[in-house]
């Protein structure tokens, strides 16, 4: 039993014939008859009977046709509720981001918030690259990062790149290498290093530096939070790889471009395709695009 079959039964009771039912529902008479046979299979008592050349409803058929009206009302209410939900401009939108993206994007999103705009629910989620897609089950939008040449996100998700951000070498302002315009893997390979945990995107670039310099790096600290890593670098704890635009400026640090390896990451926004059907989610996606443009323009003005 389904909505279509109940609608056919109801129309048959009102129109009085299979032909008239087919015309009213823009179907063929054979299709109407087929659906009625399928409906009858799920009901233990006859729903229709012959009255001369006409097919009419039995008492049981009339009861079910009356119930079909209630089904139509309930479905209409459900559709209306869904339309309101989808089109609601001030609905709640849950956004998750890894730490440095959260620090860069969340204040800009909140700064763009309108009184009748989406109600943001912000969370920080610092996970390994392979785990970002899972977060789309719990959040409407997920800010994730991957290296420029890393595998793409699963095809079941919608992904859009907000930023293609260079990765620089962070070192103390008084470090001997701080006066160089650019650094190479050989320049930095003999220094102590602060890196992220294995499985996080930046580790692939750290490994590329070691490969290009043909030596194993001396990794002395593993710190995922760039704010904490910056303090350790400033204190002389080692060099670190840091994103150019989303790293919070530190007065005792300098960032130097790295040449000789491909050092850039994507900041992507991920979501399940159906989430973008909601008006509020689309508005936050637009706000993220504006925030990304603001982050890029700050670098151009620096």
What's the pLDDT score for residue 262? 86
State the number of CA atoms in the 13 A half-sphere of 16 facing the CB.
3
* 52-106 pLDDT, tens digit each: 778 888 888 888 888 888 888 877 777 777 777 777 888 899 999 999 999 999 9
Closest residue by Cα to residue 283 from 163, 118, 114: 118
The better pLDDT of the pair 259, 301 is held by 259
What is the secondary structure of the chain as a DSSP string? Answer: --HHHHHHHHHHHHH-SHHHHHHHHT--HHHHHHHHHHHHHT-SS--EEEETTEEEE-HHHHHHHHHHHHHHHHHHHHHHHHHHHHH-TT-EEEEEE-HHHHHHHHHHHHHH--TTS-EEEEEE----GGGHHHHTTT-SEEEEEEETTSPPPPTTSEEEEEEEEEEEEEEETTSGGGG-SSB-HHHHTTSEEEEPPTTSTHHHHHHHHHHHHTS--EEEEE---HHHHHHHHHTTS-EEEEETTTSPP-TTEEEE-B-SS--EEEEEEEE-GGGGGSHHHHHHHHHHHHHHHHHHHHHHH-
For range 254-275, the mean pLDDT: 92
Q: How many CB atoms lie within 10 A of CB 189?
A: 18
Sign of the CA dihedral with 287 first, then 293, 298, and 299 last:
positive
Pick the CATH number of 92-301 from 3.40.190.290, 3.40.190.10, 3.30.360.10, 1.10.8.80: 3.40.190.290
Tell me, yes or no, if the two domains 3-87 and 92-301 fold the same way.
Answer: no
For range 285-296, the mean pLDDT: 94
* 15-64 pLDDT, tens digit each: 878 888 888 888 898 998 898 898 888 888 888 888 877 888 888 888 88
Closest residue by Cα to residue 165 from 141, 189, 148, 150: 148
Query: From CA 254, how far away is CA 249, in angstroms rounded?
Result: 9
Percent of the chain with pLDDT over 90: 52
Please determine, for residue 126, whether its predicted confidence score (pLDDT) is greater than 60: yes
CA 272-274-278 angle, 5° bins: 115
- Looking at domain 3-87, does it have CATH number 1.10.10.10? yes
Average pLDDT along the chain: 89
Q: Where in the chain are the domains?
A: 3-87, 92-301
Please determine, for residue 267, whether its predicted confidence score (pLDDT) is greater than 90: yes
What's the pLDDT score for residue 213? 92
Chain length of the chain: 302
Confidence of residue 301 (pLDDT cuts 50, 70, 90): low
Please determine, for residue 201, whether its predicted confidence score (pLDDT) is greater than 80: no
Q: What is the 3-state secondary structure (H, E, C) of 96-127?
A: EECHHHHHHHHHHHHHHCCCCCCEEEEEECCC
Please determine, for residue 206, whether its predicted confidence score (pLDDT) is greater than 70: yes
Please determine, for residue 138, whether its predicted confidence score (pLDDT) is greater than 80: yes
Considering the entire predicted model, what is its pTM?
0.71
What's the pLDDT score for residue 16? 79
């Amino acid at each position: 039993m389904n909505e279509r079959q109940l609608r056919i039964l109801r129309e048959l009771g009102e129109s009085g014939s299979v032909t008239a039912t087919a015309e009213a529902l823009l179907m063929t008479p054979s299709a109407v008859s087929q659906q009625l046979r399928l409906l009858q299979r799920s009901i233990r008592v006859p729903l229709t009977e012959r009255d001369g050349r006409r097919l009419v409803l039995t008492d049981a058929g009339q009861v079910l046709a009356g119930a079909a009206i209630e089904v139509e009302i309930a479905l209409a209410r459900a559709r209306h509720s869904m339309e309101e939900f989808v089109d609601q401009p001030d609905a709640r939108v849950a956004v998750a981001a890894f730490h440095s993206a959260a620090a860069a994007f969340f204040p800009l999103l909140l700064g763009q918030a309108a009184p009748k705009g989406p109600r943001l629910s912000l969370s920080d989620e610092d996970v390994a690259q392979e785990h970002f897609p899972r977060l789309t089950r719990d959040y409407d939008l997920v800010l994730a990062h991957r290296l420029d040449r890393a595998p793409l996100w699963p095809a079941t998700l919608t992904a859009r790149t907000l930023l293609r951000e260079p990765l620089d070498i962070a070192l103390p302002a008084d470090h001997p290498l701080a006066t160089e315009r650019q650094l190479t893997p050989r320049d930095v390979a003999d220094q102590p290093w602060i890196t992220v945990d294995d499985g996080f995107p930046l580790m692939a670039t750290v490994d590329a530096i070691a490969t290009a310099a043909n030596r194993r790096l001396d990794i002395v600290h593993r710190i995922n939070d760039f704010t904490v890593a910056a303090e350790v670098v400033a204190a002389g704890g080692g060099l670190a790889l840091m994103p150019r635009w989303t790293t919070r400026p530190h007065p005792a640090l300098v960032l130097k471009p790295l040449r000789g390896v491909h050092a850039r990451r994507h900041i992507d926004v991920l979501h399940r395709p159906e989430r973008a059907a909601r008006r509020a989610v689309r508005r936050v996606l637009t706000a993220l695009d504006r925030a990304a443009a603001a982050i890029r323009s700050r670098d151009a003005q620096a």
